[in-house]
Amino acid sequence: MVSNNAASAVVDYLSNRGLDTFVHTVVGRTYGAPQRMKPSAEPVERALEALSAKPSAAVLVGDSPGDILAAQAAATASIGFANRPSKWRRLAAADVIIDDMAELAAALDSAPVE
């Protein structure tokens, strides 16, 4: 997971909701360095490195234009999450746009694991 929030806050959130077992890596903002936050590629690249993953084998799901720009800068695919109708236009640069996370979860659940 890549966030512009502090990694500790994301870990606490995931833990409090019982989701921490589903997320193996959390990359948060670097304190005092806003230029290193999304839309910079750096946090995405740090996550890829932590997971030993190639950009071509990754996808970033995000709900902001900065998320999509960060994915593009890191040469990863992007899925825009348009949880409001107004976001469809703002996320137009994404490779795919969805408006239902359950649909994404179902697609991932049925995808073959390599």
Q: What is the pLDDT of residue 113?
A: 64
Please state, in angstroms and rounded to a whole number, the distance separating the CA atoms of residues 86 and 67: 16
* All structural domains of the chain: 7-110 (3.40.50.1000)
Q: What is the pLDDT of residue 54?
A: 97
Contact between 26 and 10 under an 8 Å Cβ cutoff? The reply is: yes
Q: What is the pLDDT of residue 109?
A: 83
Please state, in angstroms and rounded to a whole number, the distance separating the CA atoms of residues 51 and 43: 12
- Each of the 114 residues of the chain gets a pLDDT tens digit; together they read 999 999 999 999 999 999 999 999 999 998 899 999 999 999 999 999 999 999 999 999 999 999 999 999 999 999 999 999 999 999 999 999 999 999 888 888 887 666
